Structures are given as structure tokens and as C-alpha cells.
């Protein structure tokens, strides 16, 4: 996106280079929603893809950014994505510290995402009902002029006040820090910032609902107090500074 801002549109250039402009353009420039998925279980991945397609029949303006650990599995995942009609990109490298490294994985996927909305989607989540694409796009260019916001998606049987998993943020949100999260508890990180700066867009359960199994604690209470909290406060200040501009 930064490159596209620099280059501009083909109308800024002489007609003789218009065909060259199109050839060099981002092949994913028409993507509205990027879905970031970490996968270690291809069967779960199949289920989440089926769920996404079932709840949104036209996925032509969306993409899956997939991170897997083993390059030997890439062909199998690619075959699934080819039949789904999603645009896609696949990142392959080791799992490092597993769950404790998941924020790095999401950051890497967000860096190559082309969408205006970036959705962090665990492979064990499913859409219960609702057209996720339409609900996301209703928020775009409609609530905040700068499009810096976080989207909370209702989860089946989860209290309204609970931190929601599977959050989505805008490209403009990611651009504030240059990444999605500095901590492996990505859901808490994004929610905490949004709550403090007043930029949470909460969707209604009647419009969109997800389900997923209960998660496990990533960071201890001591880790939250002495590591997470000081770092997230720095991030909150950067968001406040950007919003004031």
C-alpha cells in the first residue's frame, strides 16, 4: 500500500507506459479483506475455509494469508485454496516458540496482506451465521474518518464483556505501529488499545457470530503486569498521537 501511494494511478503518466503500469501493479490491489490464518492441522483448516465460503459466497475481493510450519504440506494447502476461490499467499517457516511466537507470525502475515480489513482467524474457529464480508465493509469509511479502528465479533456463548477472539483491524490501524501486536496474546493486545482510545466497533450477534473452543492463558498475571502493561501503554500513546494529527 505504501508503494501504491508513492506510484499513484496510471493517469498520472504518459499513455505509452499505461500497459507497463498495469503489468507492474499489485496483483492483489482489489482485495478488501485479508484473513490471517495460522495452521498446523489441515483438517481444521478445511473446516474454517468451508465455514468462510459458506457464509460469504463471493470471496473474489478477499484473500487468505496462510502461515504453515512445514513446506512439505504447502501443496495440500494450496489445493484447498485453489478450490475455494480465495486469493491467497502462503508463508512457510518453522514454529520457533510455538504459541509464544504467534504474534510474530501474525505480524509477518499482516505485512504482506493487501486488504483494507485484516482479520486474525484461528484455524479452529468457524462462522455460525452472518456474511462477514458485508458486515466488515459496512464499517469502512463510515464510522471514523481516519479508518483507525478495531472490530469485535460476537462469539457464541461468550459474555458481551469478555475479550473477543478472532478480532479484525483496519490497514490504517496496522500502519500506526507497523505491525498487529507486540505480544502473543494478540486478542488482549488489540482489545486493550481499542478500549483505551475509544476505537472499538462492536458488531451485533444477530448480524455475525463465530464459535471456537476455549483458549489457554498465554501469559501469566505477573507477565501481564510487569511486561504486557508497560509495552501496551507505549502503544496506546502512539495511537493517541496519531489520532490527534
CATH number at residue 160: 3.90.550.10
In a domain, 140, yes or no: yes
Question: Beta strands 150-152 and 126-129: pairing type?
Answer: unpaired
Phi and psi (nearest 5°) for 166?
55, 45
Reduced to 3 states (helix: H, G, I; strand: E, B; else coil), residue 85 is coil
In a domain, 11, yes or no: no
pLDDT value of position 1: 59
Write out the residue range of the structural domain in which residue 73 sits.
24-244
Say how far apart CA 4 and CA 25 lie, in whole Å: 8
In a domain, 136, yes or no: yes
The whole-model pTM stands at: 0.91
Question: What does the angle CA 181 – CA 183 – CA 190 come to, to the nearest 5 degrees?
Answer: 45
Residue stretches of the chain with pLDDT short of 50: none
In a domain, 174, yes or no: yes
pLDDT value of position 26: 74
**CB 130 within 8 Å of CB 208:** yes
Phi and psi (nearest 5°) for 65?
-105, 115
Question: What does the angle CA 7 – CA 9 – CA 12 come to, to the nearest 5 degrees?
Answer: 90
In a domain, 117, yes or no: yes
Reduced to 3 states (helix: H, G, I; strand: E, B; else coil), residue 64 is strand
In a domain, 130, yes or no: yes
pLDDT value of position 10: 86
The predicted-structure confidence for 60-95, as pLDDT tens digits, reads as follows 999 999 999 999 999 999 999 999 999 999 999 998
In a domain, 10, yes or no: no
In a domain, 5, yes or no: no
Total domains, the chain:
1
Amino acid at each position: 500500500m505504501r508503494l501504491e501511494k508513492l506510484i499513484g494511478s496510471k493517469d498520472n503518466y504518459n499513455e505509452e507506459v499505461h500497459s507497463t503500469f498495469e503489468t507492474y501493479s499489485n496483483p492483489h490491489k482489489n482485495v478488501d479483506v485479508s484473513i490471517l490464518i495460522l495452521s498446523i492441522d489441515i483438517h481444521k483448516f478445511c473446516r474454517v475455509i468451508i465455514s468462510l465460503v459458506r457464509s460469504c459466497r463471493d470471496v473474489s475481493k478477499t484473500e487468505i494469508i496462510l502461515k504453515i510450519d512445514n513446506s512439505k504440506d504447502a501443496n495440500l494447502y494450496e489445493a484447498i485454496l485453489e478450490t475455494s476461490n480465495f486469493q491467497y499467499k502462503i508463508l512457510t517457516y518453522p514454529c520457533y516458540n510455538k504459541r509464544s511466537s504467534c504474534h510474530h507470525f501474525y505480524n509477518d502475515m499482516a505485512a504482506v496482506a493487501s486488504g483494507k480489513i485484516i482479520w486474525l482467524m484461528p484455524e479452529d474457529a468457524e462462522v455460525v451465521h452472518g456474511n462477514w464480508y458485508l458486515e466488515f465493509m459496512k464499517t469502512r469509511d463510515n464510522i471514523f474518518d481516519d479508518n483507525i479502528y478495531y472490530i469485535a465479533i460476537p462469539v457464541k456463548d461468550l459474555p458481551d464483556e469478555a475479550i473477543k477472539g478472532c478480532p479484525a483491524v483496519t490497514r490504517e490501524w496496522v500502519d500506526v505501529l507497523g505491525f498487529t501486536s507486540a505480544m502473543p496474546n494478540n486478542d488482549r493486545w488489540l482489545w486493550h488499545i481499542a478500549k483505551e482510545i475509544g476505537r472499538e466497533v462492536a458488531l451485533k450477534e444477530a448480524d455475525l457470530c463465530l464459535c471456537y473452543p476455549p483458549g489457554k492463558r498465554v501469559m501469566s498475571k505477573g507477565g501481564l503486569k510487569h511486561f504486557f502493561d508497560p509495552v501496551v501503554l507505549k502503544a496506546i500513546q502512539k495511537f493517541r498521537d496519531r489520532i490527534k494529527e
